Structure 1
Amino acid sequence: MDLGLKDKVIIVTGGGKGIGEGIVHVLANEGAIPVIVGRNEKDNLRVVTQVGKAGGRAEQVVAELTQPEQCDAAVRQVVGQFGRIDGLVNNAGVNDGVGLEGGSYERFMDSLHKNLVHYYLMAHHALPYLKASKGPIVNIGSRTAETGQGGTSAYAASNGGRNALTREWAVELLPYGIRVNALIVGDCWTPLYDYWINTFPDPEEKLKSILTVIPFENRMTTAEELGNMVAFLLSERSSHTTGQLIHVDGGYVHLDRSIQP
């Protein structure tokens, strides 16, 4: 299916690794021009190079998104290079384990800047250009907002905020023909996930316990599968879909727990 994304300039925050990297590769395979916005130039360029070797095109902008002025600068740099923005994927973030116990005001607020505030700022600064192109927004979220996880108050709150902003923006941007949706992730193997799983005394046993409770095929969602849904939501093939929280999680959040072993 041709998603009609050829030559569309789409910002992907945190596109230098993990889920964002998977999204970038899918978009490039569809003929889009994903622009990675992330703080690690080495990671960004590695993905840009991979895309180029595969026959696609991607670009990158180095920005520390916890710094508000750098969000603005990143958008300006993309517009300076291409003259337009055709879509925005807010993806960058980290489950940083800032809990109620052992946390602090400073750590909590820092986590909100890592995981929520830049979602708003990137959309705010990109909005004039998204209005011009009727470019959609896709916010990447996490099941932690709905299920809880324990020990990660700030990340869960950030994801609750992402869900709320998705629906608020879908309403606010109706007059401009801009669709806004969220993709809610369950479990996807990324470098950060690998780091987290190895903090347990028995990583293999912990991983087994996680896979057991993912209903569909008892496996994690791949970054490519997430990228496929993002590409669909960015495309005109989803032209009457807005304000939706779409779970790509192998049924983890919504299927009855009685089906699990």
Structure 2
Amino acid sequence: MDLNLKDKVILITGGAKGIGFGIAETIAKEEAIAVIIGRKQADNQKAIDLITASGGNAFGIEAELTSSEACKKAVEKAIAAFGRIDGLVNNAGLNDGVGLENGNYEDFVQSLHRNLIHYYLMAHHALPELIKSKGNILNISSKTGETGQGNTSGYAASNGGRNALTREWAVELLKYGIRVNALVVAECWTPQYENWITTLNNPEETLAKITAHIPLENRMTTIHEIGNTVAFLLSDRSSHTTGQILHVDGGYVHLDRALANA
């Protein structure tokens, strides 16, 4: 199916690694221009090189998204380079373990800046161009905003906020024909996830326990499974889909996990 994404300019925060890279690589294969926004130029360039080596089109913008001014400048650089914005994928973030009992005000607020506030800022600054292009917004979210996880108040609050903003923006932007959706990730294999699991005393045993509770095929979601769904939601093939919070998680959140061991 042709998703009609050819030459569409799509901004992807955190697009150099993990889920963000899976999204960038996938939309580039659909002939969109993947504008990777990340804090390290070296990481951005590595992602660009991988995408262009396979025939895709990618562009990098270095930005520390916890800075409001950096968010504004990142959008301005994209407009200066391409003259338009057709889509925004808010993806950057980190499960930073800022809990209730062991957290504090400063760390909690910093977690919101890492994981939520730049979602608003990027959408705010990109909006004038999205209105012109009748583009759309896709927010990457996490199961923690619905299920809880423990010891990660900042990240869970941010993901609850991501889901709420998705519905709020979908309503506010109806008058422009701009669609806004969210994609919820549960257990997805990324370099960040791999780094976390290797810090544990029993990484292989822990990973086996996690995958055993993923109902569909007892395996982690891949970054390209996320990317494929994002590409569809960005495309006009999903032209009457807005305000939706979709789960690409092998049934992890909503299916009875007893099914995984049936």
In the alignment, residue 183 of structure 1 is paired with which amino acid? L
| Secondary structure of 1:215 counterpart | coil
Aligned pair count reads 261
Find the counterpart in structure 2 of residue 49 from structure 1.
49
Find the counterpart in structure 1 of residue 254 from structure 2.
254
In the alignment, residue 160 of structure 1 is paired with which amino acid? G
| Secondary structure of 1:75 counterpart | helix
> CA offsets per residue over residues 30-86 of structure 1, 9 Å max, x none?
000010011011110001011111011100100000000000000000000111000
Matched, 1:218 2:218: yes
The 8 Å contact of residues 141 and 185 in structure 2, kept in 1 or not, is answered as yes
> CA offsets per residue over residues 9-31 of structure 1, 9 Å max, x none?
00000001000000000000000
Find the counterpart in structure 1 of residue 206 from structure 2.
206
> How far off is 1:260 after superposition?
2.9
Provide the rounded CA distance (Å) in 2 between the counterparts of 1:19 and 1:43.
14
Provide the rounded CA distance (Å) in 2 between the counterparts of 1:211 and 1:45.
33
Alignment of 1:3-82 (within 5 A): 3-82=3-82
In the alignment, residue 202 of structure 1 is paired with which amino acid? N
The 8 Å contact of residues 216 and 260 in structure 2, kept in 1 or not, is answered as no
> CA offsets per residue over residues 109-138 of structure 1, 9 Å max, x none?
000000000000000000000000011100
Find the counterpart in structure 2 of residue 164 from structure 1.
164
Provide the rounded CA distance (Å) in 2 between the counterparts of 1:223 and 1:258.
25
| Secondary structure of 2:88 counterpart | strand
Find the counterpart in structure 2 of residue 177 from structure 1.
177
Matched, 1:123 2:111: no
In the alignment, residue 120 of structure 1 is paired with which amino acid? Y
* Structure 1: gaps spanning 5 or more residues: none
Find the counterpart in structure 1 of residue 228 from structure 2.
228
Q: Percent identity?
A: 66
Provide the rounded CA distance (Å) in 1 between the counterparts of 2:185 and 2:136.
19
* Structure 2: gaps spanning 5 or more residues: none
Find the counterpart in structure 2 of residue 244 from structure 1.
244
Provide the rounded CA distance (Å) in 2 between the counterparts of 1:5 and 1:85.
12
More divergent stretch after superposition (79-88 vs 187-196): 187-196
> How far off is 1:189 after superposition?
1.1
The 8 Å contact of residues 214 and 257 in structure 2, kept in 1 or not, is answered as no
* TM-score, normalised relative to structure 1: 0.99
| Secondary structure of 1:58 counterpart | strand
Find the counterpart in structure 1 of residue 155 from structure 2.
155
The 8 Å contact of residues 9 and 35 in structure 2, kept in 1 or not, is answered as yes
| Secondary structure of 1:205 counterpart | helix
Find the counterpart in structure 1 of residue 101 from structure 2.
101
| Secondary structure of 1:230 counterpart | helix
> How far off is 1:143 after superposition?
0.4
| Secondary structure of 2:230 counterpart | helix
> How far off is 1:258 after superposition?
2.8
Provide the rounded CA distance (Å) in 2 between the counterparts of 1:34 and 1:86.
11
> CA offsets per residue over residues 204-261 of structure 1, 9 Å max, x none?
0010010000000000110000000000000000000000000000000000133132
| Secondary structure of 1:260 counterpart | helix
